[in-house]
Amino acid sequence: MATRATPCLSRFNPHFTQNVIDAMGPKTGPRTRQVLGCLIKHVHDFAREVELTTDEWMMGVRFLNAVGQISDAKRNEGQRISDVLGLESLVDEIEHKLATETDEIPTSSTILGPFWSPNAPFRDNGDSIIMSPHKGQVSLMRGRVMDFVTKKPVAGAVVDIWQASSNGKYDFQDPENQVDNNLRGKFRTDGEGLYSLYCLHPTPYSLPTDGPAGVLLNLMDRHPMRPAHIHLMVGHDNYKPVTNQIFPKDDPYLESDTVFAVKDDLVVDFHPLEGDQNAKLGLEYDILLVPRD
């Protein structure tokens, strides 16, 4: 399909955008003025660059309306659109960029996604987060939370973990098959910084395609699949929290994650586990936290 030639921007009113920005009143906060000013400038530049038509603008309005109309307490379509466009992953990179004087890096962060719950219960180390029937492979996951600077163990850190079941759905998406807080739990590290738990080897799944995110993916000729992953949120009062996802190294969607969340150091290796009657696979995953100061 042929594209329009880049327009000569000077033939449009050169003062219009600045007039819109200057319309903000004196009570607008400095950061609000900076963020909205940049947003207005880039949106206006985009409209001029592609010579957006009235029909195309209205199509965008209807699309945004549909995003809000399909969203509810269990479905955040606006966040999903941000994920499909790579925006949440980019914001995560911006916010968590950390310069160090060595070649080492702390445990990487990545996007939270729309499925975290504040209601996950605390469980004892060695407990299982598997509460409902499934067709997955039970895995023993364990590791140590350590100080990035000293490499000493961090006792009392909270490891909050959640994942989809073997059918690719989270508990609140799937009340017919899963009880509340299935495949969710918080674990507190012991005096040696150790945590351990039983979970499932994760399963790839598709983003819902029955709403605007599906329309957008179809327009861009992209698949909706997420690689298999386990969500983690790790925190301690004295350290900067880390929110990430870890991915099995043999997953077919690592290179084409539809929300662009995969990072090299978040790819992990599940290995055969012997001598454990409760699990067939094992995963060792250590976490490095950066001190708040």
Task: State the angle between helix axes of 77-84 and 87-96 in degrees (0 to 180), rounded to the nearest 10.
Answer: 80
Cβ neighbours of residue 265 closer than 8 Å, sequence gap 6 or more? 105, 107, 108
Q: Which of 262, 292, 265 has the alpha carbon at shortest distance from 83?
A: 262
Question: C-alpha distances in angstroms, 116 versus 10, 26, 40, 245, 257?
Answer: 47, 38, 32, 12, 19
For residue 4, what pLDDT is reported?
A: 57
- What's the one-letter identity of residue 281? L
Cβ neighbours of residue 138 closer than 8 Å, sequence gap 6 or more? 128, 130, 198, 199, 200, 201, 278, 279, 280, 281
DSSP 8-class letter at 207:
P
Which residue has 């009340």 as its token pair? 175
Residue pair 91/35 in contact by the 8 Å Cβ criterion: no
Cα 74 from Cα 115, distance rounded (Å): 8
Phi, psi torsion values for 246, nearest 5 degrees: -115, 145
Single pTM value for the model? 0.85
- What's the one-letter identity of residue 168? G
Domain boundaries, the chain: 7-52, 77-289
Domain 77-289 has CATH 2.60.130.10: yes
Question: C-alpha distances in angstroms, 41 versus 30, 184, 213, 275?
Answer: 16, 43, 26, 62
Residue 282 CA from chain centroid, whole number? 24
Cα 4 from Cα 2, distance rounded (Å): 7
Task: For the sheet with 230-236, list strands across it.
Answer: 184-188, 158-162, 230-236, 239-248, 267-268
- pLDDT tens for the chain, 293 residues: list them: 445 555 555 689 999 999 999 999 999 999 999 999 999 999 999 999 999 999 999 999 999 999 999 998 888 999 999 999 999 999 888 877 654 445 556 888 998 988 999 999 999 999 999 999 999 999 999 999 999 999 999 999 999 999 999 999 999 999 999 999 999 999 999 999 999 999 999 999 999 999 999 999 999 999 999 999 999 999 999 999 999 999 999 999 999 999 999 999 999 999 999 999 999 999 999 999 999 87
Cα 247 from Cα 158, distance rounded (Å): 21
| SS3 labels along 40-86 | HHHHHHHHHHHCCCHHHHHHHHHHHHHHHHHCECCECHHHHHHHHCC
